Amino acid sequence: MDRVVPSLYEWLGGYDVLEKLTTHFYEKVLRDDLLYELFKDMSPEHTKHVAMFLAEVLGGPANYSSSQGGHAHMLKRHFGRKITQGQRGRWVALLLESADELRLPDDPEFRSALVAYLEWGSRLAVINSQLDASTSADSSIPIPHWGWGVPGGPYIPPKES
């Protein structure tokens, strides 16, 4: 008998859990001295967009790609923001703290995969944030798909304009 392995998205409980996570997390971000300036002007829809993006990355529906324009859109949202390593580290720490507070699965396999994606994705955000805001992103770059211990693909830098 074949065993069906759930996606990370299914394992954590689906979209509603991710939306609660991002809402709780960004409430913390807006109270954080190091992160406030980066996020003080975020749109009211930001938490939902991040939840949709994470859902797609973790094996859920492709709603972010269909409604927001995919990975190129996410990349462009970081251009010119000049994110520091300190801000990146705090962002990851607050997200993991939020995951604990909301009692997301804490088994080692899930947390290892989640931490791996957050570290990879946040470091990519730092790299992209150093690019000029007018830089164009390749719209053919797919959203990474993260699974149980297997990254979704190699980094492909955006094209300089």
Q: What class does CATH assign to 8-129?
A: mainly alpha
pLDDT at 154: 47
DSSP, collapsed to helix, strand or coil, labels residue 153 as coil
Integer Cα distance of 27 and 13 in angstroms: 21
SS3 labels along 36-63: HHHHCCCCCCHHHHHHHHHHHHCCCCCH
Q: Where are the domains of the chain?
A: 8-129
Joined together, the tokens standing for residue 125 give 């955000």
pLDDT digits (tens, 9 = 90+) for 4-19: 889 999 999 999 999 9
Mean pLDDT of 33-55: 93
Query: Has residue 71 got a pLDDT over 80?
Result: no
Cβ contact 7:147 at 8 Å: yes
pTM score of the predicted model: 0.85
Name the percent of the chain in helix, strand, coil, to the closest 5.
Answer: 55, 0, 45
